[in-house]
Structure formats: structure tokens, C-alpha cells
Amino acid sequence: MAKYSETIERLIEEFGKLPGIGARTAERLAFHVLKSAPEEALALADAIRDVKTKVRPCKRCFNLTENELCNICSDERRDPGVVCVVEQPKDLLALESTGAYRGVYHVLMGHIAPLEGVEAEDLTLDALVARVRAAASGGTPVREVILATNPNVAGDGTALHIAGLLEPMGVKVTRLARGLPAGSAIEYANKSILTDAITDRRGF
């Protein structure tokens, strides 16, 4: 089969590595870039470079940030005594969009899923435990940890594991109220359901 030049083939190959992009779409995207104005195509390249060089996890909660601490951890109006544990930064954004929560967060960067090769030690759990422990020995103690993992098998299993880790530490552990359909995802829940879920949270 005839091939394009090496440079074009490389671009097609890179697009093809993106999730949900098959060979034909990769080719179409590559030709879109070829046809587009130089500044437009280079803006895409710059955006990719910037996101990989400037964005990093918050030192405290692992939310995405361009600074040492994210905008929530560095906001003095937030209550550091209540920590909401979420799987991904997008869950944090969904909960933030409700405006109903004034505590801080802890982002796990995933959920426990042995079949996918994700074990508890791959998540930011050590950092969470260290955070609760450090807060107890100085600074603002953590009064409550809200487990806001997704209401599905992996999320529930992860929440159960975390509750077990926190139990000996004597911190109050709650989880989002019912109302989120089982098997659903926080990121797709509508605002009023999420607001109720975080406001009417219950003991674990």
C-alpha cells in the first residue's frame, strides 16, 4: 500500500493513539492539520506542550494546577476540616459546579480495579492518610472525610477500602447521599442531584 511521507505518517500515527480515534479518523485529522492555517495548527501543538509542561498535581490534594497548591487548597475561605475524596479531577469539577460544598478535596487519581491492574497502592491513599494524620497533630484537624467515589462496583469497593483505612484514625467518614443512580458516574450527574448528594450526605 502506498504511504504518505514519513512526516505525515508520523502525525497520522500519533492521532491514531488517541482514545476513540481509528485509522481513518486519524488520517482525516492529519489532513485537517495539513490544510489549516499555520497559526491554527501550531496553537494546537502549543496547547499540548503547555498542558504537559505547566499542569501538575496539587501538592496537597492532587487536583490539577499550574502552581504548587491548587486554587481550592490555597483558598482561605475553604474549610480544610472537611475533605471530599473523589476519583478524578473531573468529579471535583462536577461537585464544584454545584457551589454547595465549601470544604477541600483529595483526588485519588483512579479507583481500585485489580482486573485493570489498579491496586490500592497506585492511588494517592498514602497521601490521604498522611494528610489526616498530619492535620490531627497540628494545623486544622480533619473532622470529616466524605467518600465521593462513583456509585458503581469499583467506586463502592474503593470507598469501603478507604473507610477501613480511616476507621482506626477516629475521623468521621461519610458518603454521598443516595439519589445518584447505582452504576452511574458523578461526572454525568445533574447539578440538583449532586447538590442533594453532597448536602444530605450520610454516615458510612
Binder of Zn ion out of 12, 26, 30, 61 (CB under 5 A): 61
Q: Which is nearer to Zn ion, 63 or 195 (CB)?
A: 63
- Shortest Cβ distance from residue 107 to Zn ion (Å)? 8
Q: Can you tell me the distance from the alpha carbon of 151 to that of 181, in angstroms, rounded to the nearest whole number?
A: 7
For residue 18, how far is the Cα from the chain centroid? 19
Contacts to Zn ion from residues 80-139, by CB under 5 A: none
Residue 33's Cβ-side half-sphere holds a number of Cα atoms within 13 Å equal to 18
Binder of Zn ion out of 30, 58, 125, 132 (CB under 5 A): 58
- Shortest Cβ distance from residue 128 to Zn ion (Å)? 12
Q: Does the protein bind Zn ion through residue 63 (CB under 5 A)?
A: yes
Q: Which is nearer to Zn ion, 83 or 159 (CB)?
A: 83
Q: Which is nearer to Zn ion, 26 or 70 (CB)?
A: 70
Which of the stretches 44-52, 53-61, 139-147, 154-162 binds Zn ion when contact is defined by CB under 5 A?
53-61
Q: Which is nearer to Zn ion, 58 or 197 (CB)?
A: 58
Distances (CA, A) of 149 to 2, 85, 114, 115, 183: 49, 7, 16, 18, 11
Q: Which is nearer to Zn ion, 56 or 161 (CB)?
A: 56
Percentages helix, strand, coil for the chain (3-state, rounded to 5) are 45, 15, 40
Handedness of CA 104, 66, 39, 44 (dihedral sign): negative
Strands 64-65, 56-57: pairing kind: antiparallel
Site residues (CB under 5 A) for Zn ion?
58, 60-61, 63, 70, 73
